[in-house]
Amino acid sequence: MGEVEDLRWLEVACDLAASCPPSSTAFSVGAVVVGADGRELARGYSRETDDKVHAEEAALAKIPGMDLAGATVYSSLEPCARRLSRPKPCARLIVERGAGRVVFAWREPALFVEGDGFELLEHEGVEVVEIPALAARAKLPNAHLL
């Protein structure tokens, strides 16, 4: 994926975050999974299917068993590496599904848990790209928490 495609898909993820039901105990996040061929495979957002589901988790659940080699996960927020509400954090789910690349806009602030998804993903061999130019857009649906 090139820079233009990364920006376009990350903007979609940031826009999806606005679909999240508001919460005082969790971030509003959007995610899109894009295949190696540049086509969208799935999208999701926080609290889409239940009050604990995260955006990346919701998107990945829509494509069970699909080989994600060469796929990119776009997320408005750095995927979580620690989680209180489920046994596996999103960064671990991404690694297990085989996506080779993650692009995100905003590093997770240490409001609920310590954000170190970037480090976990890199340690596991996933290419991680942060695009801070879209961080303000990712923060908009979370203004009530900041």
CB 131 within 8 A of CB 107: no
Please state whether 75 falls in left (phi above 0), alpha (psi between -120 and 50) or beta: beta
Q: In the prediction, which pLDDT does 111 show? A: 56
Q: How far apart are CA 39 and CA 48, in angstroms?
A: 22
The reported pTM is 0.93
Q: In the prediction, which pLDDT does 75 show? A: 97
Q: In the prediction, which pLDDT does 114 show? A: 60
72-77 sheet: strands from edge to edge: 40-45, 30-34, 72-77, 101-106, 127-130
Q: In the prediction, which pLDDT does 115 show? A: 62
CATH number, domain with residue 88 = 3.40.140.10
Q: In the prediction, which pLDDT does 118 show? A: 83
Count: domains in the chain = 1
Answer positive or negative: Cα dihedral of 70, 71, 77, 81: negative
Catalytic residues: 56
Its domain, for residue 117, covers 3-145
Q: In the prediction, which pLDDT does 58 show? A: 97
Q: In the prediction, which pLDDT does 8 show? A: 97
Residues 6+ apart with CB under 8 A from 57: 44, 86, 90, 93
**Average pLDDT per block of 10 residues along the chain, 146 residues long:** 90 94 89 96 96 95 93 96 81 95 86 71 95 94 83
